[in-house]
Structure 1
Amino acid sequence: MLGVALVLGSILGVAIGAVLALTRQGGVLENRPVSIILAAVVNVLRSLPFIILLFAIIPFTRLVVGTSIGVAAAIVPLTVMIAPYIGRLVENSLLEVPRGVIEAARSMGATPWQIFTRFMLPEARGSLILAVTIASVGLLDATAMAGTVGAGGIGDLAVSYGYQRYDGFAMLITVITLVIIVQGIQFLGTNVARRYRRR
């Protein structure tokens, strides 16, 4: 559930972030209407708490996967939730690329696509890895609430066994497991990003 939503959300998020960065004022493909509309959509989706989004898009979820219950049904709102979040992080990473790099690419006759793929993405690679790392931790938090639609997961375990059955040990194990997973994701992401930044 976490892996599929992260992959789908990352693909959509990179696309959203790229469009936001490229079409903004002064961007490589400046287009004010596209930039304003997309930014508004992203802001609306990011402003909704996941539990509300989960139920608000049930008709869309049914349309996509044919059901509103289970792991497949949880992946849809998870992807819808994380894609705009990653998009904003990607936008910020791309905006950190020095203007000199972009101007140098333009002076060499690079097309907008070449500027994005051969100059902006490589320059922002370390920052993008950290962005996906941050998003992964946020997505893990959201998957804990996915149990409300029968998706299971560690959050469902905590509620079903730890809270509803008053099992303090099960709750403790769940918390420790989540902490270990988060620390592992953060450690891996930080180290990979550091290696790319050194290059």
Structure 2
Amino acid sequence: MEWLQGFFADYGVMLAQETWNTILMMLVPTAVAYLVGIPIGVLLLVSAPGGLRPHRVLNAVLGWIVNIGRSIPFVIFIVVLIPATRIVMGTSLGVAGAIFPLAVAAIPFMARMVEQSLAEVDSGLIEAAQSFGANIWQIVMKVYLKESVPSLLRGAAISLITLLGYSAIAGMIGAGGLGDVAVRYGYQRYEVEVMIAAVLICIVLVQIIQSIMNVVVRRVDKRSR
């Protein structure tokens, strides 16, 4: 008990701060990725062959951009984006320096996830909306996006947990967060108990995120009622 009290006295404030930094590196990039990824995902679906407004060139260009973005390992991505990060965020270090590359890396991933979520919407609903004279904008907003909310929320959970792993990589090059704690204390200083504490906090964060999103999905999913 005394050891535990001493541990929290020595590392409690630091672990709390880095946990908050990790949460920021999950929430902010996920929000940005959704804001940008949803329009891209919609365009990918609408412009695809058989979509509401097929456009082969647009679909091919967007598809290539998204695929290229998804194919670059994040550890390379964050290094390549350092000049752009400095311009946009004013720094390439710390939490601020990690948010931009995390968001950029998440956008292609989110765009494909949105496209897949929208593609799962019952085609009968789309045909019904068209028969009532709904235009493309109305179909996208009132049918595709509205009906795919549960799937999009599941995607948000996946995105948050994925970015938790990415934030650990960002921490290795000066972004802070629990990944930085695990490397700096557990690997460089051989303080294994601090590394274990960081890992346990990550596990708890994942469980909390998944549990919250499961509850939210059950509440909004009409099929579960």
* Pairwise TM-score range, normalised by the shorter structure: over 0.9
What aligned pairs does 1:162-181 form with structure 2 within 5 A after superposition? 162-181=186-205
Counterpart code for 1:102:
I
- Establish whether residue 89 from structure 1 lines up as the match of residue 113 from structure 2: yes
1:64 to 2:84 alignment: no
> Aligned partners of 1:148, 1:170: CA distance in 2, in Å?
16
Task: Quote the sequence identity (%).
Answer: 43
Taking structure 1 as the reference length, the TM-score comes to 0.96
Is the Cα contact below 8 Å between 2:168 and 2:180 reproduced in 1?
Answer: yes
Residues 8-27 of structure 1: pairs in structure 2 closer than 5 A: 8-27=32-51
- Select the residue among 148, 152, 158 that pairs with 2:176: 152
The amino acid that maps onto 1:197 is: D
**CA deviation after TM superposition for structure 1 residue 65, in Å:** 1.9
From 104, 122, 144, give the equivalent of 1:98: 122
Q: CA RMSD in A?
A: 1.2
d(CA) in 2 for partners of 1:58, 1:30: 37
Structure 1: which amino acid aligns with 2:75? Answer: I
Contact 2:172 2:183 in 1 (8 A): no
Q: Which amino acid aligns with 2:132?
A: M
Structure 2, unaligned runs of 5 or more: 1-24
Greater CA drift, 7-16 or 111-120 = 7-16
Cα distance in 2 between the residues matched to 1:142 and 1:156: 12
Aligned to 1:140: 164
4+ runs of 1 displaced by more than 6 Å?
none
Structure 2 counterpart of 1:75: 99
Give, in whole Å, the separation in 2 of the partners of 1:185 and 1:28. 35
State the structure with more CA Rg.
2
Offset, 1:16: 1.5
Could you list the per-position Cα deviations for residues 2-58 of structure 1 after superposition, in whole angstroms to 9, with x for gaps in the alignment? 221111111111121111111111111211111111111111110111110000122
Q: Secondary structure at the match of 2:221?
A: helix
CA contact (8 A) 1:68 1:149 kept: no
CA drift at 1:145 = 1.3
Query: Please, which runs of 5 or more residues in structure 1 have no aligned partner?
Result: none
Residue 175 of structure 2 aligns to a residue whose secondary structure is coil
Report the counterpart of residue 120 of structure 1 in structure 2. 144
Q: How far does the alpha carbon of each residue in 1:108-158 deviate from its partner, in whole angstroms, 9 at most, with x for none?
A: 111101000011111111111001111110011101111234221010011
Matches within 5 A, 1:23-62: 23-62=47-86
Query: For the Cα contact (< 8 Å) 1:162–1:169, is it kept in 2?
Result: yes
